Amino acid sequence: MSDQIERYTYDVVVIGAGGSGLRAAAEARARGKKTAVISKSLFGKAHTVMAEGGAAASMGNANPNDNWQVHFRDTMRGGKFMNNPRMAELHAKEAPDRVWELEAWGALFDRTKDGKISQRNFGGHEYPRLAHVGDRTGLEMIRTMQQRIVQLQQEDAKSSGDPEAMIKVFAETTITRLVKDESGRIAGAFGYIRDTGKFVLFEAPAVVLATGGIGRTFKVTSNSWEYSGDGHALALLAGAKLMNMEFVQFHPTGMIWPPSVRGILVTESVRGDGGVLKNSEGKRFMFDYVPDVFRAQYAETEEEGDRWYTDPDNNRRPPELLPRDEVARSINSEIKAGRGTPHGGIFLDIASRRSPDYILSRLPSMHHQFKELADVDITKEPMEIGPTCHYVMGGVEVEPDTGASSVPGLFAAGEVSGGMHGSNRLGGNSLSDLLVFGKRAGDGAAAYVDSLSGARPAVAEASLDEATAEALAPFNRAEGENPYTVHSELQQTMNDLVGLIRREPEVKQALTELEKFKERAGRVTVEGGRAYNPGWHYAQDLRNMLLVAECVALAALERQESRGGHTRDDYPAMSPEWRKINLILSLEGEKIELRRQPIPEIPVELLALFERSELKKYMTDEELAVLPASSEAPESPDSSESSESSEKEGH
């Protein structure tokens, strides 16, 4: 069968054409490596465009007290101290340079009055930190990165006459397997062209996974159709490890009505610019849900919360800007208490708080989205919103500086990688994460290729035959299950049993159901040919979604505490002992194995950025013994902010 496969040879193959993938590809190409970019959909239609609010970077344009240390603190607090500290440090330090670099490549950010990049407030960030383009920041990032790839191709055309000599984008292409050589090193990626069904092999010693998230595993999600956990599954099948897959973020504000748009994201910018959450009785209920660990940093009255927008130095922030996990749980509680909207959500109101001109200038996409999709004018009436599966904090276990996985030649960046965000991601950290670690993964892949001596890894032909047979299996069954049906029932099961609130009996039931789904997936059948066959595409995605769903459920059952994006109704408290544990998942034969692994220690100099009284909420006395007893009120290296402001947490 392998003679029917179209073959290409590259140095680096990047799977995914979103922010992290394009940044990795640009870096690999800049390092002189022949690079392929694989896009599951059309070039430029990446899910990155859904990140609307901005890219978090401590440039200090809106508040000169901001710096990387404060951003690091906010990120660790948002992740409930489960973050890989090295990743959080690198991200905080390098995000400003990556944003300025994007500007140099042509990104047109909104400006302050003195011409600097404008920065807005977001939940969990102590200072206005999100560089933004209205509420279309992700779109501007993709537009800029896309143009950067074209610019590199134009340079190659001048030097060699071939614009695709060093970097080429393969649109509408799905990768189904990573292939290795006999020693276990990456040797390439196998898949098919979606519009023709033709099989394709990219022979390359280095592969960068930049495939995004897993949202399609759940019924209600802000994620687009591409997000079926492809990279997570490819990594598992290649022998890499996943970590902390129980941490799934449910964004508090997704559209509720009409059903055709259920789950579509409503940017956090609405709340950052003054929007408030109200129940069916018209009450701003978030004041009733401020956790004790955050009480010192958040306003206790509506008057103080409203004053914060114009005088943040002398007032505490409104509780609508708590971390996303806290807001999502609070909304869920109000709905369950019978104080929800007619369509089962909560009201998000900015119409009564800001002028129409302000809303139209700051939130043009949101106004258009609600007007066109729900016939709601957000300058005149509130929005109906509710929690929606949005982001997975867990992912491929990688080396922080290079993005390297445990499989030689395999790298990962962005949402498909784990560690950076701990148990809960702060809004705005995703776009800067893509830039920082996309660049590092591209650089790491190029350095790996440079380190190879002798012949490159060669693809074993037998593995190609296996990959081809696996892909064609649904066509070879005379009768069986419809992939759409299995897919839909899997989504409902995950939503109902492993969703926002988890309980041991329900998660165990989900694992039992997943075994049945795996049997059914082995019987799915599709009709017709391989060209333009959505049923076949669904059958391929189903394998990935089932692997991811089992990882999420296993980890959710194992972690007996509530932290960040993981809420156990039967274990409602955070545990300092559980904070020290990463849950590692690997595929042994056909069985997913789970083991516990110690979390990397936070260096003393980074721990010293926090007050001991705050760290006691998260860490054991044994862990805190490394700190000097006098570390009660550290000052930011670049400012002398009060202990109150230095304790603000984020998301």
Report the catalytic residues: 251, 271
Cβ count within 10 A of residue 225: 14
Report CA 504 to chain centroid distance, whole Å.
Answer: 26
Closest CA to 473 of 481, 187, 591: 481
Instruction: Report the alpha-carbon angle 537-539-545, nearest 5.
Output: 100
Residue type, 520: R
Closest CA to 26 of 125, 157, 156: 156
Give the count of alpha carbons within 13 A of 389, CB side only: 28
Dig out the tokens for 316 from the structure: 């505490």
Dig out the tokens for 20 from the structure: 């992290």
Closest CA to 269 of 373, 143, 364, 390: 364
Dig out the tokens for 517 from the structure: 């789904």
Cβ count within 10 A of residue 114: 6
Instruction: Say if CB 8 and CB 200 are below 8 A apart.
Output: yes
| Distance between CA atoms of residues 230 and 232, nearest Å | 6
Length of the chain: 651
Dihedrals φ, ψ of 94, to 5°?
-100, -15
Place of tokens 């990155």: 48
Q: Which residues contact 150 (CB under 8 A, 6 or more apart)?
A: none
Closest CA to 16 of 413, 352, 282: 413
| Distance between CA atoms of residues 200 and 573, nearest Å | 49
Three-state DSSP at 167 gives: strand
Instruction: Say if CB 217 and CB 27 are below 8 A apart.
Output: no
